[in-house]
Structure 1
Amino acid sequence: MSTATLSATTQSVKRSESTSTLPSFMQAVVVHGPEKYVMERLPVPVPGPGEMLIKVEAVGVCASDLKCYHGATKFWGDEDRPAWAQTGITPGHEFVGTIVLADDVAEAHHQVSVGDRIACEQIVPCGECRYCTRGHYWMCGPHDMFGFRNFNGAMAEYLVVPIRALTHRVSHELPAAHAAFAEPLACSLHAVERANIHFDDVVVIAGCGPIGLGAIAGAKAKGARVVVALDLSDDKLALAGKCGADILLNAGTSDVIAEITAMTDGYGADVYIECTGHPSGVKQGLNLLRKLGTFVEYSVFGSDVTVDWSIISDDKELDIFGAHLGPNCWPAAIKMIESGVLPMDDICTNQFALNDYQAALDLVSDTAGASVKVSILP
């Protein structure tokens, strides 16, 4: 028997022994169109060569999940794609799970073993397009993504991890909902990286939801002199203080532009990171920045945003940066969660069983509610 044949046989036996302990069917949420997410009984998927099967422990519900659910989100301006997650796919991209099935190829490629707990980056890069070959994998041309396009997400009991996926080991000691927060936190840290923060900067974070809270922690870790948090909720502002914000301003009851102008000797903030997802947050940021300031946009908007571009050019000559996903920030995000520096019990406010997925979606849609990060625990 050749070495190749022996290796294939060993992998096959390993898979067969593991498969025998798995159930035949699982529960999974399936997209049938806007506001038509249905719980279905499906066969537990069988991973192919080089793939892994994980038992999902937690999946966060993101604002982008909600906007897709309502059919309000186009995929990065591509009019040929539908305004919701791909029909027939299982949603859910913020997840953590334990590897229950993997062959030798998968374990060697991802440098993991059966029994390890992993989180996966949302993007599943092709590795061949211009962006991937130049190291910009998070802007991959085909843009396959867990829970949105071509790969099932984690609102299910089990999920197949393709060999192209980007995986990261996470401590088993973390509560599942905390571990799944690695995805939004990595996104927050990427927004902070884009801002190129300096030690003497006054940094304003607009929106104290999951992304904004992570950006506050990241800006503080980067050494900003002052981190200002803006929100309409005093409860969320209090949580922002626990994440490192120095100044808390309620944008509904305070003249935030006047207050920030006053605290900066009339100049304005050095950096503004927009995490509200509301068009008013954009105009607010342009107005409170100083000349030559930096604006970072992270939010996913449900409608077009119109602003006076003369502020960006002729008035202030601002640096405007977009931020997408959490490239190269996952190890730092996981380390930050594992370190205990974040008030994770206060951030991960609500957990639901998989059967209660609709309640989880509805709670995220309640913008006036007290929830911060809502998770589903299959």
Structure 2
Amino acid sequence: MSNLPKTMKALVAYGIKDYKLETDFPVPECGPDDIIIKTEGCGVCVGDIKCYDGAAARLWGDDIQPCWVKPPFVPGHEFLGRVAEVGENVTDYKIGDRITADQIAPCGKCRFCTSGRYWMCEPHNMFGYQHTNNGGMAEYVRYHKYAHITRVPEDIPLKKALLVEPYGCAKHAVDRADIHAEDVVVISGAGTLGLGMITYARTRNPFKLVVLDMNNDRLRKATEFGADIVLNPGEVDVVEEIMKLTDGYGCDTYIEATGNSSSVRQGMKMIRKLGRFVEFGVFVDETSLDWSVIGDGKELDVLGSHLSPYAYPYVLEGIRNGTLKTDGVLEHTFPLEEWQTAFEYAHGTHGDFKVAITF
């Protein structure tokens, strides 16, 4: 018989801008293959904000796309906690273990899952968007049998440990870029994900690491995290600057981490022939560009980057030993009762890179 309470505090999403803090939400039941964690903290992602605002049509659906979210659900996918209960078939974890899991909630049965490419699971359910996979803005969360779980070292402070999900995504994007020592690499965007990319890309030792952002405070942080050159597109012609830097050829690699259409077009202009363009940003609107640049003009490698496959162990160790810089990324945390303030701060209007809800 479970020793957990029957109800808990949880933020529950019923619709666009229709989120409610509930004090009697049911604690998830633990099946024979499940793990229930007591939540330690949950980062507030830009994706959570876009979902709340209804800014991403692919989430709530429109005239073209069906609704993907499944309300009522508990939001939050950047969370970790301690094991509070395990099912009878669980042998690898015990009560009190500190763990986290990838954002994806894989089915374990599709061709992607069975071939080890779980992050592209065909049903593609995720924690924090469906009532079948409630997220971390609640006191307790259920991890099912196929969740991709990673242990979190005890000596990593919560504010640093909560960066594992965005930094994991950043690592995957940089790995997709296949950076070499002679490369001029441009990263567009110096938010939390961009900073994760910068500090990890620095370990790959490119010839020049250039970071673009419209916010000079973020550019200063980018320099702290390893950027060789920082440029503000609102102040200088960044395409011209990159061409000067590369004798008119263009950068070898461009990683797009803003989800802004102008950043895509800018990247296509400054990348060299036979260059590599990696897209990570999530867009609100469709982006148009001259596709002949990709093919007939420059013969580019254009790659997507999604989630954080197999990245957590490396990221946690990098955070732990200081290889991956984290100072100043997550400074403000809020109790669940102040979720509205947390969401406001997550917009970046107060200068924060990342905020979190803690329990």
SS of the residue 1:223 aligns to: coil
In structure 1, give the amino acid aligned to 2:126: M
Report the CA distance shift for 1:353/1:303 in structure 2 as closer, same or farther (over 3 A).
Answer: same
2:355 aligns to what? 374
**Long gaps (5+) in structure 2:** none
Shift in Å at residue 191 of structure 1?
A: 0.4
Matches within 5 A, 1:220-299: 220-299=202-281
Shift in Å at residue 114 of structure 1?
A: 1.6
1:312 aligns to what? 294
> Which of 61, 66, 84 matches 1:100?
84
CA distance in 2, matches of 1:191, 1:61: 20
2:165 maps to 1:180 = no
Shift in Å at residue 220 of structure 1?
A: 1.4
SS of the residue 2:255 aligns to: strand
TM-score (ref. length: structure 2): 0.94
Q: Contact 1:30–1:90 (CA<8 Å) still a contact in 2?
A: yes
Shift in Å at residue 287 of structure 1?
A: 0.7
2:44 maps to 1:61 = yes
In structure 2, give the amino acid aligned to 1:345: D
| Count of paired positions | 355
2:190 maps to 1:208 = yes
CA distance in 1, matches of 2:113, 2:98: 26
CA distance in 1, matches of 2:236, 2:314: 34
- Identity percentage of aligned residues: 43
SS of the residue 2:89 aligns to: helix
Matches within 5 A, 1:108-147: 108=91, 111-147=92-128
> Which aligned runs of 4 or more in structure 1 are off by greater than 3 angstroms?
74-81
2:172 maps to 1:190 = yes
CA distance in 2, matches of 1:311, 1:300: 22
Comparing 285-294 with 133-142, which one deviates more in the overlay? 133-142
Report the CA distance shift for 1:342/1:196 in structure 2 as closer, same or farther (over 3 A).
Answer: closer
SS of the residue 2:328 aligns to: helix
Structure having the higher Rg: 1
CA distance in 2, matches of 1:209, 1:71: 21
SS of the residue 2:310 aligns to: coil
CA distance in 1, matches of 2:345, 2:237: 30
Shift in Å at residue 212 of structure 1?
A: 0.6
CA deviations on 1:171-195 (whole Å, 9 max, x unpaired) are 1222212112101111001001111
SS of the residue 2:105 aligns to: coil
SS of the residue 1:345 aligns to: coil
Q: Contact 2:159–2:331 (CA<8 Å) still a contact in 1?
A: no
CA distance in 2, matches of 1:98, 1:36: 29
Matches within 5 A, 1:158-173: 158-173=140-155
Shift in Å at residue 75 of structure 1?
A: 4.0
CA distance in 2, matches of 1:104, 1:174: 29
CA deviations on 1:177-235 (whole Å, 9 max, x unpaired) are 21121011110010011111111101100000111111112211122121111111111
- Aligned CA-pair RMSD: 1.7
CA distance in 2, matches of 1:348, 1:300: 21
1:349 aligns to what? 331
> Which of 81, 88, 91 matches 2:66?
81
CA distance in 2, matches of 1:167, 1:177: 19
TM-score (ref. length: structure 1): 0.90
CA deviations on 1:111-134 (whole Å, 9 max, x unpaired) are 322211111101111121122222
SS of the residue 1:184 aligns to: helix
Report the CA distance shift for 1:114/1:347 in structure 2 as closer, same or farther (over 3 A).
Answer: same
Q: Contact 1:60–1:177 (CA<8 Å) still a contact in 2?
A: no
Q: Contact 1:59–1:177 (CA<8 Å) still a contact in 2?
A: no
Q: Contact 1:242–1:342 (CA<8 Å) still a contact in 2?
A: no
